[in-house]
Structure 1
Amino acid sequence: MGPFGDRAAGGVQRRRGLKFWPILLFLGYLGYYYFSHQQSASYTGRKQLIDTTAEQEAALGLQSYREILSQSRVVTSGDLPQQVRGIAQRLIEAAPKVEQYLAQTANIPASTDWSAFNWDVSLIESDQVNAFCLPGGKIAVYTGIIPVAKNSDGLAAIMGHEIAHALLRHGGERMAQQKLVQIGTMAASMSVGEMDPQQQRMVMAAIGAGAQYGVLLPFSRDHESEADKVGLLLAAAACFNPQEAPKLWERMAALGNQKPPEFMSTHPAEATRIQQLNAWMPEAEQVRQHFCSTPAR
């Protein structure tokens, strides 16, 4: 600028646009982080990204479990809690057997740190159609899901799925993915720092949508499908009828709850789950035949 505020002749206006160096730094860190924190998932052999220990995840799971139970009505009397605990015990006992079976038949590394699991099972009085298993083996079943499960085989399919999430360390994997998304968002915000505010909002919104629909939701659906398959094998090895799993999801679909399109959801559509479970059924039947003396009903 000249001495009177006018633009000096030959002056060059600084361009206010996208900075690339934060993005390049993030891509470099992404490569390092991805390759230095990979491990093979037990039960599937899939490469997964984890930067926490099983003990750290179990500690977080125990904390959440205690908080949930402190705010819930836990059912301790009657036959139902005993039945739920019995089903859980059979699935828990089957878990290391299935891991070793897959290691022998499919050459999948048996890498579960069993010392990090201290199993506990609670039945919670609630209308929620839900169940969960937190890292470290903290299981809860809501009474609202019992009518949908319909029988012990259906409940085994539900609980096997939830236990599989913990065995596959999906919680630790999601934490690692969220960490990368947060760092990527920071890099993006630094890159657009000199852009017009409206352009900043547009770029950040596009990045947020890309992370949500391109990374987090697809990974979440993959986790659900992976837990469906491993849970099916757990139930089969525990001598429950695996044929009940697709029937369970038919009953889930019949509930008629409004759901978003599959690509916008954290879970696969019921039709997708039914199709996948039926495709995995021959392997589940083989596992059941291997571990159980009586054929499936």
Structure 2
Amino acid sequence: MRLLTPALRRRGVTSAVVVGLTAALGACAYNETLGRNQLVLVDEGSLIQQSNAAWAQAIRTQPLSRDQSQTTRVRRVGERIVQAAGLTDRSWDYAVFVNDAPNAFVLPSGQIGVTTALLQLVRNDDQLATVIGHEVAHVVARHAAERASSTALAQVGVAAVQGAAGDYGQQAGGLASIFAQYGGLLPFSRRDELEADRIGVDFMARAGYRPSEAVELWRIMAAQRQSGTPEFASTHPSDATRIQQLQQYIAQRGYS
């Protein structure tokens, strides 16, 4: 077996980086909703297939609420948000999962899941629309595809650093991973959350819900949250940041 010299190894690494960057540049496209360019390397069909599989597994393995009025409520609010978002080109499924953690999710393949704890937490349909609007905004913004693409590109970069560093590849790769996580992927994730907040508020307003209740909901969330994770190391912005930016955006748009 022929061993690669350091020069050949570096040349191979450089080629891999060039190929990765070329693919990334080719996959950049302008997202009108976000008002920025977006890196999407992930095939949409594959993402839909994975989402359908994830939903089927959740329905099969997680306890569902037997209270039909809860599902009806989520469907009623969800349908108004989906229409406001312009996503009526696909059929939508709705489910309420019995869970003590207040949470919700929307899948690109057309499914909306809400936990019983979230329904107990929100004080009105406007606040429920806040959560669903935020999650639907992630779909419209293609954040899942973008995040998967950024992660894949970061992995190429880490592998390149390890290859170029030779005998010190493991240590260098570890440092590169830390930088990619805290210098790139997490800030991108926090950016995605704030974008989804703003877009979700727009969907709320179009659907006839009160955007001001988005601020009230996050105040409720802040009061019951017990996480001590600093913002720089979190995938989500702090509650204070989120509330401040929502207030500014709602005022800017003239919402009530």
Structure 1 and Structure 2 fold alike (TM over 0.5): yes
Q: Distance in 1 between matches of 2:215 and 2:13?
A: 45
* Cα RMSD after superposing both structures: 2.2
Residue matched to 1:243: 212
Deviation at 1:285, TM superposition (A): 4.0
Q: Distance in 1 between matches of 2:34 and 2:159?
A: 33
Among 49, 56, 71, the residue aligned to 1:81: 71
Residue matched to 2:107: 134
Aligned length: 252
Residue matched to 1:50: 40
The range that moved more, 183-192 or 129-138, is: 183-192
CA contact (8 A) 1:246 1:274 kept: yes
Structure whose alpha-carbon radius of gyration is higher: 1
CA contact (8 A) 1:126 1:143 kept: yes
Among 173, 192, 202, the residue aligned to 1:233: 202
Deviation at 1:188, TM superposition (A): 2.1
Deviation at 1:29, TM superposition (A): 2.2
Q: Which runs of 5+ in 2 are unaligned?
A: none
Residue matched to 2:134: 161
Q: Distance in 2 between matches of 1:120 and 1:46?
A: 30
The range that moved more, 255-264 or 84-93, is: 255-264
Per-residue deviation, residues 46-92 of structure 1 (Å, max 9, x unmatched): 21111234332211111111111111112253322111110001101
Question: Which letter maps to 2:42?
Answer: T
CA contact (8 A) 1:242 1:281 kept: yes
Deviation at 1:31, TM superposition (A): 2.8
Which has more helix, going by share of residues? 2
Q: Does 1:209 pair with 2:178?
A: yes
Question: Which letter maps to 1:174?
Answer: R
Among all aligned residue pairs of Structure 1 and Structure 2, give the percentage whose two residues are the same amino acid: 31
Give 4+ residue runs of structure 1 displaced > 6 Å after superposition. Answer: 15-18
Deviation at 1:251, TM superposition (A): 0.7
SS at match of 1:139: strand
CA contact (8 A) 2:222 2:239 kept: yes
SS at match of 1:63: helix
With the length of structure 2 as denominator, give the TM-score of the two structures.
0.90
